């Protein structure tokens, strides 16, 4: 589907006030579970973490700040030093996140995943949650993330995926057909959710996606399906050489 919005950024501006409510509806509340599973696995909270200096952490496509809030909460609980940078191309969503997270340690940036003005080799951890499929150039975004990370730094992604089970794939596709109806019923807008459904369908299948991650330079790439493959957690490490 070709959106009539002038840009994906404009589309997200149109749904920003109802962004969190629609995430609950779209995922039947499961996005909270997926995000907690995702955050729990980050290397920040690995029992072997012996890093004493603050982690330089980028949350790309931070949206309304829910992943960032979970990370900061866990860091506070475990007394883990962190220097967070929250980035999103959409000013309305950034404003919501800033209002939600009144933390003076956060550096806020309105930038896209393809063009980040941080120095190369400067961050330890990069996360992107349900944002990679909305970038203009996915492969360029992956390469930019690789360039930003220090050697040994890690890239983590939580994203919708394509279930491998035929019955689940069929059920999920049927649900995607309902999304525009839900959008129209709840916020009076069908088009943004027709786009979101289409963006999920057009995201690459597992093998293609993993190859794109490897092509960006990442090694030790892993893939973990959740909820029968509706979403996945992927991880890559920047090599030392």
Task: Tell me how far apart the alpha carbons of residues 20 and 40 are, in angstroms, rounded to a whole number.
Answer: 21
Beta strands in the chain (DSSP E): 55-60, 82-87, 107-109, 123-129, 149-160, 218-226, 231-238
Higher pLDDT, 155 or 23: 155
Mean pLDDT on 194-213? 95
Partner residues linked to 83 by β-bridges: 56
In the sheet that 123-129 helps form, which strands lie side by side, from edge to edge?
A: 107-109, 82-87, 55-60, 123-129, 149-160, 231-238, 218-226
Please give the CATH number for the structural domain made up of 8-238: 3.40.50.150
Could you tell me the pTM of the whole model? 0.93
What are the structural domain ranges in the chain?
Answer: 8-238
* β 123-129/218-226 pair status: unpaired
Please give the average per-residue pLDDT across 94-119, as a whole number: 94
Dump pLDDT digits (tens) for 129-143.
999 999 999 999 999
Q: For 21-44, what is each residue's pLDDT tens digit?
A: 777 877 878 999 999 999 999 999
């Amino acid at each position: 589907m070709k959106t009539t919005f002038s840009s994906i950024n404009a589309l997200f501006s149109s749904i920003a006030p109802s962004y969190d409510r629609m995430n609950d509806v779209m995922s039947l509340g499961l996005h909270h579970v997926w995000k907690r599973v995702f955050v729990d696995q980050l290397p920040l909270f690995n029992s072997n973490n012996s890093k004493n200096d603050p982690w330089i952490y980028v949350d790309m496509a931070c949206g309304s700040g829910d992943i960032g809030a979970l990370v900061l909460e866990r860091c506070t609980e475990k007394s883990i030093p962190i220097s967070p940078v929250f980035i999103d191309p959409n000013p309305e969503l950034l404003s919501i996140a800033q209002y939600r997270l009144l933390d003076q340690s956060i550096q806020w940036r309105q930038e896209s995943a393809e063009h980040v003005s941080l120095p190369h080799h400067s961050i330890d951890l990069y996360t992107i949650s349900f944002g990679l499929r909305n970038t203009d150039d996915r492969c360029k975004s992956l390469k930019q993330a690789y360039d930003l990370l220090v050697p040994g730094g890690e890239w983590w992604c939580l994203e919708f995926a394509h279930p491998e089970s035929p019955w689940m794939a069929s059920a999920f596709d049927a649900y995607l057909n309902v999304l525009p109806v839900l959008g129209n019923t709840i916020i009076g807008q069908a088009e943004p959710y027709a786009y979101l459904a289409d963006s999920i369908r057009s995201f690459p299948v597992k093998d293609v996606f993993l190859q794109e991650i490897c092509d960006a330079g990442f090694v030790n790439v892993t893939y973990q399906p959740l909820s029968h493959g509706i979403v996945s957690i992927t991880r890559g490490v920047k090599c030392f050489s």
